[in-house]
Structure 1
Amino acid sequence: MYGKVLRTIYRIENNSVISSIRKGFTLLIPALLVGAFALLFRSFPVPVIQTFIEKWAGGVLYQILSFLFDSTVGFMSVYLVMSISYYYAATMKNKDQFLQVMAMVVSAICFAVSFGAAGGSMELSDLGPVGVFTAMFAAVAGTRIFYFFCEKVSPAFKFRSAGSDVDYRNSLSTIYPLLFCALLFVAMNLLIQTIFKADNLNDLITNSIVELFHNINDGLGAGVLYVLVLDVLWAFGIHGGNALEQVSQTYLVPNDAVTGTVISKSFLDNYALIGGCGTSICLVLALLLFTGSRDNRQLARSAAPAVFFNINEILVYGLPIVLNPIMIIPFILTPLCSLLLSYGATVCGFLPVMKETITWTTPVFFSGYLASGSWRGVAVQVVIVLVGIAIYTPFVKLSERVGELQAEMLRNELTEYLKEQNKTGTALSLLDRRDSMGILARNMAAQLRIDVEKKNLTMGYQPQFNCEGKMTGAEALLRWRYMGEAVYPPLAVALAQEDGFFDRLTECVIEISMKACSRLLTLGSPVTISANISGEQLNSPRFVEKVIRMAESYGVAGYYCLEITEESAVDKMEEIPQHIGRLKAAGIMAAVDDFSMGRTSLKYLQHNSFYAVKLDGSLVRGIVGNKRNQEIVSSIIALGRNLDFEVMAEYVETEEIRSLLESMGCSQYQGYLYSPAVPLQNLEEMLLEQKGNI
């Protein structure tokens, strides 16, 4: 049941619309950070500092902070409509980059039309947090409609201009889709004005909310309704403070001046909404104390200074809270509990009734003392914070679990995609994808690069045995982990290749495995350790020279082997024979991995420098009951005897396969019949046990 709930939440969060909106908000985090801190300093609740900011150098500092806030948060809706449209357009079947950019332009036009544009009811404030909901709607609806018309408008009705450049022709081809989108939004705006008597969609929502308060306009009921509606609006991306400004000025602000009245605007700001909407200080502390996610802790640390002064846009749009099916619940529930706790404390006489208005940016706990004139206000806020943390914590953990499930499912999708592409021989492009898999691939590649530079790779060692049951060597295999989970090794290799640090990854694997080989030699367990490299790397003088220096440094001459994979043709790799000779002279053996009867494998054998070949796994696994496979394997074994190289079989998984190989003359085995890849410590224990049995 729990798993089904997690998967349902995962599907909701990865719905193309919701996912695009959340990514759009995430893209704005840098701008929101700059704007939030500019607002914090501009509204700093210390009179001396406030006076200094306003008066210094004729108010220049105040102007700079105002410009920063107005140009970031002040135009937030404009940036948001384009960022959401960018991500939503990426989910469409048509992946044309030009259409993706045009969809952003069209969505911005639809956003302006929704407010009646400059000649209608649009004001500069609508471009900031006020217009967020309209921005979300315009981005999604505008992009969807634009792509619909792009598909439906017949090529015969598209503008054409012979001899013009491609960008010009593409631009003209979108005139009708753009026009139809704009006209639909114009019609919607006119209907809202005619039927509902509201200036625009945003005002329609605001006016509908104000109507709720006509019959509940004072006391606890008004406070509960105000806090509930405020946080519900924020949870859906609507700036609750601006949407409820009329309600606040009509029903709550006047109560600040009425002696003996409990529910007032200042009371709600200082007790129900400490840290901002959603009682966000509780969420910050829950993240800092109980989350296991490094990203969430980093976000909480970034948001904490602003939240301390009741500015929480970073959390709301950065986590995000907006359209988050998990975090919406505590985001709404916590302020309501805070209100009821503080109201109860006041009614029972513990908390003094507020006697003066406290500025909303006054820091948490200071505001409690100033509002009550005693330590009791601080005590109530402390209790609120503790209760809020208790409410948020299980949802934080659930959200983290869903994130882990999401990452796991995405990793599985990425792995299956890689396998399918390899099977069909299609060229890979993991990092260029613009969907969730692409984001995961880029994050994984970045972390893998960090782990390679820090030489923080997990390795496994799969033992190799002879026909007498004695361990003779082990193959070093990459067992990299991302976010604590094992990654399909070919996926890690593909990411490194595409991101341009495959050589560094291979060098890191070789160095770690040479260090392991050196340790085994020190312990008196002389076995051969091998690691994979590509033909291109074996053809590189720089790469070969580096391997030789590492072998000298770790003292593994005679006990280390490089296995060359058969991924690339070697016809033009003229340096390989010479490099194999240099490696051999330095005590480093070379083997051919996944050997079959292919052109590349046979090309390797023209130069009798290889210590061994490893049979291709598909040959070994299909050897039982397959006469053709048996003939091929027998031919390779005979070739090994004639050309003086060892033949080793991988994927030896059953006694039947081993016996059949032994009867053909193959005496070296690697596979699950003996052991999977194990950590170095386990390999050491196996060798010690083997020594004890001799």
Structure 2
Amino acid sequence: MPYSRFNKFIQTILHSKYLLSLRESFIALLPYFVSSALALLIINSALFFNLVNESNGLYAALFNGATLILSLFPLIVATSIGFFICKNYGQSGIIGAMLALLSFSLHGQYIISVNTNFELNATGATPFAIIIPSISSLLLVLCMRIQPSFDGYLYRVSHFLGEKLRAIIPFSLVFFSFYLFMPILYEIGDLIASWITPDTSNTSVAWLTYQRMLVTHGLWFLGIHGDNTFDMLLSPQFLSQPIIPGISAKTFYDTFVLISGTGCFAGLILAALCLKRSGHERNIAKLSIPFTVFNFCEIIVFALPIFLNPIMLVPFILVPSINFAIAYFVLSHGWIEVTNIEISWMTPALISGYKVSGGVSGVILQSCLIISSAFIYYPFLHWHNRQINFESAINKLTDKLKISEQLRSTGESVFIAHQRDIDYASKELNQVLNDISEGKLKLYYQPQICQLSATVSGFEALLRLQKPNGNLVGPYFLNTLIKHDQTDIIDKWVIEQAKRDLEYFRNKDFFPIISINVNPKVMTDHVLINYLCETFYQLPNQLKIEVVESGYLSDKNKVIKNIFKLRASNIETIIDDFGTGYSSLSMLADLPIDIVKLDKSLLDNAQEESGADFYTYVVELLHKMDKHLVAEGVETQRQLEFVRGLQIETVQGWYYQKALPKQDIIPYVATFPSKLS
């Protein structure tokens, strides 16, 4: 397979919505990973330095706390996965989390009944901590999509309540369906366990240890605690036997294969710190250093991430395999003498090498293995870093605009999903993001004048950028953001700023109707449509959404459904810039839209006879379709008389007023001069 095709294949996997959801769910658990690692670090350090002993009351308190934290790990993972999968597929995250929690606890036998009491079966349920929440969430999403909308029954209730009521039937169906296919999952699990169970009767200790390494790393890659799961399902007794004279398999494995934890993460950290341009990888490496020193690997596995990351799978398996081969070869040939001692798995690298070898020879071998591991990890980390090189710019802009928590929760989704079709570095995009970050976005409002009542009937919100020097410029950056599919940030800011401005007007006893422009893809985005409905729930009939014609062509059925959803929330939809290239009158006849804005270019062309005829025919046709029309770009008396002659109801343009800052709107309305006479 050519490199370009392979790279695209890898990116497709990385950017799939399901893997993205898993990545977000584990990144969200970083506080948990850090706290659990600290708990284990404290208790093992206290024992190691003889600060406490097992009969000490302090030890009991620390031990019980650490045990509880570890026992709750599968439950917390299941809950997080259920939340993020449902959220990213456009459904309620909290409902997905509840379903995953309930399904995993019962069907995964995380909570079991023992003599009329309930107990946690933390280790036994571990293999299902990802599988069951994934199945339950994906089935819930499917059922929510195929079930009837029930809009006829729920139109009088709030969107929030309606969403929860619609989930009752899918929630119940998915939960009870596990009774049907859990036996199948158990059969599959038993079959896999039989495949990976090593033959201890006719196999050397070295080969058994290597097989264990492959199995545990494979489990870690799937998000399952590999060592605990292996030791629970399979017999690890061979680890206590000598792999070569003078050293047990476990001591050899912990000291010279898994240097600083699963995957030899000492080498990975060194490689991450050597990256010239890296944000995510280097930050995670630095964060994990205190824990990796004592061989805790969870932070890197789930936050870098290693798990379910096809880019990192090869070095994750290759590095310990090479370490195993080199160390086994060196020790078996007697080049380094080892002492028959047992050391704690928490013993830091280099110290463990010194103890096992009784001198610096073990330290030298470990150092060489770490450097070799770093060389192997480096190209894969570099490749991984190039997939996410817009993260810092996106985060900087998000912080600058102070966008709501909902956008922050989808930031990972936006940043990953939009990398598929763009190159590694776009100076144009980065420049635009920096321009916006350094400046200040503003909404200005251009009046819309009703020709029948001679009043201001509404305002269109127009985006402006104030440069650091105070100059105000138009949204020149939108084309670049559209090109790179990065308009979500601006759409969210416009929506939230419009809400803030309407609340500002309401506090002054002024209740204008405003229309905002959003990217066409909003009309097919279930999450953003719901967000709009919820955001303006307390501001009924004061918002209109303007979307250009092309926004209605991608999925007409979904668009129609979302138009009705907006209308149920007292938000009207408008076709903007009609006549600019994608007009489909048959589609327009099917859409439940009453307002059409005629693009300024049509009116400019009306200075010629052919252009005037075309404008007239379009207006007559739209009037026959019972559409309310808005003429954009009216700048002269001649243009005003022309559109009036066609009985166009609303006019917008410089003839009346350019766009104004919000503080000038109320005075403008109060002193509005009649120009209709």
Q: TM-score range by the shorter chain?
A: 0.5 to 0.7
Say if 2:333 is the partner of 1:336: no
Which of residues 136, 141, 148 is equivalent to 2:135? 141
Residue aligned with 1:321, SS: coil
**Aligned CA distance change for structure 1 residues 180 and 437 (closer, same or farther; 3 Å):** closer
Please show how residues 229-248 of structure 1 align to structure 2 within 5 Å. Answer: 229-245=215-231
**Aligned CA distance change for structure 1 residues 46 and 373 (closer, same or farther; 3 Å):** farther
Match of 2:42 in 1: 41
For residue 144 of structure 1, report the CA deviation from its aligned partner. 2.4
Task: State how far apart, in whole Å, the 2-side matches of 1:125 and 1:247 are.
Answer: 17
For residue 187 of structure 1, report the CA deviation from its aligned partner. 3.5
Residue aligned with 1:323, SS: coil
Question: What amino acid is aligned across from residue 177 of structure 2 in structure 1?
Answer: L
Task: State how far apart, in whole Å, the 2-side matches of 1:149 and 1:332 are.
Answer: 38
Task: State how far apart, in whole Å, the 1-side matches of 2:607 and 2:6 are.
Answer: 45
For residue 320 of structure 1, report the CA deviation from its aligned partner. 1.3
**Aligned CA distance change for structure 1 residues 620 and 264 (closer, same or farther; 3 Å):** farther
Say if 2:51 is the partner of 1:52: yes
Question: What amino acid is aligned across from residue 307 of structure 1 in structure 2?
Answer: T
Question: What amino acid is aligned across from residue 8 of structure 1 in structure 2?
Answer: F
Q: Contact between 2:281 and 2:381, CA under 8 Å: does it hold in 1?
A: no
For residue 236 of structure 1, report the CA deviation from its aligned partner. 1.1
Task: State how far apart, in whole Å, the 1-side matches of 2:122 and 2:417 are.
Answer: 34
Q: Contact between 2:259 and 2:349, CA under 8 Å: does it hold in 1?
A: yes
Match of 1:4 in 2: 5
**Aligned CA distance change for structure 1 residues 338 and 26 (closer, same or farther; 3 Å):** same
**Aligned CA distance change for structure 1 residues 315 and 213 (closer, same or farther; 3 Å):** farther
Q: Contact between 2:280 and 2:304, CA under 8 Å: does it hold in 1?
A: no
For residue 333 of structure 1, report the CA deviation from its aligned partner. 0.6
Task: State how far apart, in whole Å, the 2-side matches of 1:221 and 1:362 are.
Answer: 25
Task: State how far apart, in whole Å, the 2-side matches of 1:124 and 1:303 are.
Answer: 33
Task: State how far apart, in whole Å, the 2-side matches of 1:266 and 1:284 are.
Answer: 23
Q: Contact between 1:272 and 1:338, CA under 8 Å: does it hold in 2?
A: yes
**Aligned CA distance change for structure 1 residues 13 and 432 (closer, same or farther; 3 Å):** same
Residue aligned with 1:52, SS: coil
**Aligned CA distance change for structure 1 residues 10 and 618 (closer, same or farther; 3 Å):** farther
Question: What amino acid is aligned across from residue 108 of structure 2 in structure 1?
Answer: F
Match of 1:372 in 2: 357
For residue 29 of structure 1, report the CA deviation from its aligned partner. 0.9
Match of 1:547 in 2: none
For normalisation by structure 2, the TM-score amounts to 0.58
Q: Contact between 1:210 and 1:244, CA under 8 Å: does it hold in 2?
A: no
Which of residues 267, 271, 285 is equivalent to 2:270? 285
Match of 2:255 in 1: 270
> C-alpha deviations, 1:370-422, integer Å up to 9, x for none?
111111100010010010000000000111122248999x99xx9xxxxxxxx
For normalisation by structure 1, the TM-score amounts to 0.57
Say if 2:289 is the partner of 1:294: no
Question: What amino acid is aligned across from residue 37 of structure 2 in structure 1?
Answer: A
Match of 1:358 in 2: 343
For residue 70 of structure 1, report the CA deviation from its aligned partner. 3.7
Residue aligned with 1:342, SS: helix
Question: What amino acid is aligned across from residue 135 of structure 1 in structure 2?
Answer: A
**Aligned CA distance change for structure 1 residues 268 and 488 (closer, same or farther; 3 Å):** closer
For residue 87 of structure 1, report the CA deviation from its aligned partner. 1.6
Please show how residues 428-447 of structure 1 align to structure 2 within 5 Å. Answer: 431=407, 434=410, 437-438=413-414
For residue 52 of structure 1, report the CA deviation from its aligned partner. 1.6
For residue 496 of structure 1, report the CA deviation from its aligned partner. 5.0
Say if 2:84 is the partner of 1:87: yes
Task: State how far apart, in whole Å, the 2-side matches of 1:255 and 1:46 are.
Answer: 26
Task: State how far apart, in whole Å, the 2-side matches of 1:53 and 1:449 are.
Answer: 56
Question: What amino acid is aligned across from residue 30 of structure 2 in structure 1?
Answer: I
Please show how residues 115-126 of structure 1 align to structure 2 within 5 Å. Answer: 115-116=108-109, 118-119=111-112, 126=121
**Aligned CA distance change for structure 1 residues 123 and 209 (closer, same or farther; 3 Å):** farther
Question: What amino acid is aligned across from residue 128 of structure 2 in structure 1?
Answer: T
Task: State how far apart, in whole Å, the 1-side matches of 2:345 and 2:494 are.
Answer: 53
Task: State how far apart, in whole Å, the 1-side matches of 2:378 and 2:149 are.
Answer: 56
Residue aligned with 1:390, SS: helix
Task: State how far apart, in whole Å, the 2-side matches of 1:173 and 1:493 are.
Answer: 31
> C-alpha deviations, 1:646-676, integer Å up to 9, x for none?
xxxxxxxxxxxxxxxxxxxxxxxxxxxxxxx
For residue 367 of structure 1, report the CA deviation from its aligned partner. 0.5
Say if 2:371 is the partner of 1:395: no
Question: What amino acid is aligned across from residue 51 of structure 2 in structure 1?
Answer: F
Please show how residues 72-111 of structure 1 align to structure 2 within 5 Å. Answer: 72-92=69-89, 95-97=90-92, 100-111=93-104
**Aligned CA distance change for structure 1 residues 618 and 67 (closer, same or farther; 3 Å):** farther
Task: State how far apart, in whole Å, the 2-side matches of 1:147 and 1:22 are.
Answer: 18
**Aligned CA distance change for structure 1 residues 478 and 238 (closer, same or farther; 3 Å):** same
Match of 2:334 in 1: 349
Say if 2:122 is the partner of 1:127: yes
Q: Contact between 1:267 and 1:354, CA under 8 Å: does it hold in 2?
A: no
Task: State how far apart, in whole Å, the 2-side matches of 1:53 and 1:76 are.
Answer: 26
Match of 1:219 in 2: 205
Q: Contact between 1:430 and 1:495, CA under 8 Å: does it hold in 2?
A: no
Q: Contact between 1:286 and 1:392, CA under 8 Å: does it hold in 2?
A: yes
Residue aligned with 2:51, SS: helix
Please show how residues 122-201 of structure 1 align to structure 2 within 5 Å. Answer: 126-127=121-122, 131-150=125-144, 177-190=170-183, 196=187
Task: State how far apart, in whole Å, the 1-side matches of 2:285 and 2:635 are.
Answer: 61
Task: State how far apart, in whole Å, the 1-side matches of 2:283 and 2:304 are.
Answer: 11
How many residues are matched? Answer: 479
Say if 2:5 is the partner of 1:29: no
Question: What amino acid is aligned across from residue 207 of structure 2 in structure 1?
Answer: G
**Aligned CA distance change for structure 1 residues 119 and 490 (closer, same or farther; 3 Å):** closer
> C-alpha deviations, 1:405-462, integer Å up to 9, x for none?
8999x99xx9xxxxxxxxxxxxx999388485556799x9999897569xxxx9999x
Task: State how far apart, in whole Å, the 1-side matches of 2:608 and 2:307 are.
Answer: 60
For residue 485 of structure 1, report the CA deviation from its aligned partner. 13
Match of 2:15 in 1: 14
Task: State how far apart, in whole Å, the 2-side matches of 1:166 and 1:90 are.
Answer: 16
**Aligned CA distance change for structure 1 residues 166 and 324 (closer, same or farther; 3 Å):** closer
Question: What amino acid is aligned across from residue 108 of structure 1 in structure 2?
Answer: L
For residue 222 of structure 1, report the CA deviation from its aligned partner. 1.8
Q: Cα RMSD between the aligned structures?
A: 5.4
For residue 331 of structure 1, report the CA deviation from its aligned partner. 0.5
> C-alpha deviations, 1:234-269, integer Å up to 9, x for none?
11112110122158854433215x981556111101
For residue 343 of structure 1, report the CA deviation from its aligned partner. 0.7
Mean Cα deviation higher: 617-626 or 15-24: 617-626
For residue 316 of structure 1, report the CA deviation from its aligned partner. 0.5
**Aligned CA distance change for structure 1 residues 72 and 620 (closer, same or farther; 3 Å):** farther
**Aligned CA distance change for structure 1 residues 146 and 271 (closer, same or farther; 3 Å):** same
Q: Contact between 1:459 and 1:480, CA under 8 Å: does it hold in 2?
A: no
Match of 2:66 in 1: 69
Task: State how far apart, in whole Å, the 2-side matches of 1:485 and 1:308 are.
Answer: 45
Please show how residues 477-516 of structure 1 align to structure 2 within 5 Å. Answer: 494=491, 496-498=493-495
For residue 332 of structure 1, report the CA deviation from its aligned partner. 0.7
Consecutive unaligned residues in structure 2, runs of 5 or more: 399-403, 419-429, 441-464, 501-513, 515-544, 547-598, 616-630, 639-677
Q: Contact between 1:106 and 1:178, CA under 8 Å: does it hold in 2?
A: yes
Task: State how far apart, in whole Å, the 2-side matches of 1:489 and 1:147 are.
Answer: 26
Residue aligned with 1:275, SS: coil
For residue 626 of structure 1, report the CA deviation from its aligned partner. 9.2
Task: State how far apart, in whole Å, the 2-side matches of 1:165 and 1:638 are.
Answer: 46
**Aligned CA distance change for structure 1 residues 618 and 76 (closer, same or farther; 3 Å):** farther
